[in-house]
Amino acid sequence: LGMAEVHLNEELECEMTASRLVYELDTTGELLVDLGSDQTSCHNPFSGGYYPVQLGFEEAKQLLSTNPGKFRTLVQESLKRHVAAINRLADKGMFFWDYGNAFLLEAQRAGADVQKRGANKTEFRYPSYVQHIMGDIFSLGFGPFRWVCTSGDPQDLATTDSIAMSVLEESIRQGVSTSVKQQYHDNIRWIREAGRHSLVVGSQARILYSDQRGRVSIAVAINRAISEGRIKAPVVLSRDHHDVSGTDSPYRETSNIYDGSAFCADMAVQNFVGDAFRGATWVALHNGGGVGWGEVINGGFGLVLDGSKEAEERAKMMLSWDVSNGVARRCWSGNDYAYEMICQTMKENAALKVTLPHKVVDENILEQALKH
């Protein structure tokens, strides 16, 4: 986006794949930007995550070690200039969004003009990608479920891919809602083609976006394959932080929670404790990943499937909690998909009892309440 301020002429060809910018010639002859985001490491802006535009790389590195205070001031000036360029382009029609790297947060702290007009300090004039682009799939319980084949054998990974694909296809045959079906179709396509793309560079591991039902069914089927010897060694289940339940992060994972609770850490903590009691092999509760220390709490887990009956029970209990905890919370905060999904999950599992929220029918009541 440093380039965004430059008036590019018609002949110039732009190849800025990394910065995800799309240029277009407008009627004035200027090349303007249609879509914009920023991917600097703004979760750590003053220790090398963001380099100020005023200095060259070597110069900046030196200043960082000799005068970190001055470096910080230059970063903040640079961020203000950066946002001024974004605002100018946005005024001409660019769609800008936050990538989940604390860019808007740090820009605001630097004094840049990113606050939404007439809103409180926590609302920015540009959305986070979770608010605007992902389509609230977390409320449907979808997130990056993943597993690692401890045998390290690519053949085991191929077997798990094929198991996951059959499980999702079978779920569609048994019937899923329209919103879930679309996600399943995308995920089936991904898992069918994943092996062919040779993406594995280390551990034989796979990520597959899935909902609660999919995660539990895949885990049970993989566990069975281990017990039958079709997979040679245990498989470890986990997921990303960027998921339904594990992370409280008002500038990323929980940025589309609008009832004020996005600024609490309860969900991640309950996720961590609940997973621990329901059979996770290990759990972790930590702070700061991706958006900066003090801005996020993450709960994570690992669960070893060893082919035993106990492992199957643990997977059923723990994965259900790991997803439903967050869906329930998103339901209470008024996210519609989450309401739909938690009702559906209660139908499928009579043991699950979630208190349902009562929707405010007359918005004026809220206005009145705020006035008093």
Ligand X SMILES: NC(=O)c1ccc[n+]([C@@H]2O[C@H](COP(=O)([O-])OP(=O)(O)OC[C@H]3O[C@@H](n4cnc5c(N)ncnc54)[C@H](O)[C@@H]3O)[C@@H](O)[C@H]2O)c1
Question: Any residues with CB less than 8 A from the CB of 149 and at least 6 apart, and which?
Answer: 156, 157, 160, 203, 204, 205, 231, 233, 235
247 near ligand X, rule: CB under 6 A: no
CA angle 364, 367, 369 (to 5 degrees): 110
Nearer to ligand X, 130 or 163 (CB): 130
Q: Which candidate, 349, 291, 299, 361, places its Cα nearest to that of 41?
A: 291
Binding ligand X by CB under 6 A: which of 32, 42, 149, 236? 42
Are the C-beta atoms of residues 341 and 136 closer than 8 Å to each other?
Answer: no
Secondary structure percentages of the chain, helix, strand, coil, to 5: 45, 15, 40
Binding ligand X by CB under 6 A: which of 37, 43, 231, 272? 43
51 near ligand X, rule: CB under 6 A: yes
Length of the chain: 372
Return the range that interacts with ligand X (CB under 6 A); candidates 99-107, 153-161, 312-320, 334-342: 99-107
Binding ligand X by CB under 6 A: which of 290, 299, 307, 326? 290
Q: Distance between CA atoms of 333 and 336, rounded to whole angstroms?
A: 9
Return the range that interacts with ligand X (CB under 6 A); candidates 93-101, 116-124, 170-178, 221-229: 93-101
155 near ligand X, rule: CB under 6 A: no
HSE-up of residue 292 (Cα within 13 Å, Cβ side): 20
Binding ligand X by CB under 6 A: which of 23, 50, 71, 332? 50
Question: Any residues with CB less than 8 A from the CB of 174 and at least 6 apart, and which?
Answer: none
298 near ligand X, rule: CB under 6 A: no
At closest approach, how far in Å is the CB of 40 from ligand X? 4
Nearer to ligand X, 1 or 165 (CB): 1
For ligand X, the binding residues (CB under 6 A) are 2, 39-43, 50-51, 53, 78, 99-101, 242, 290
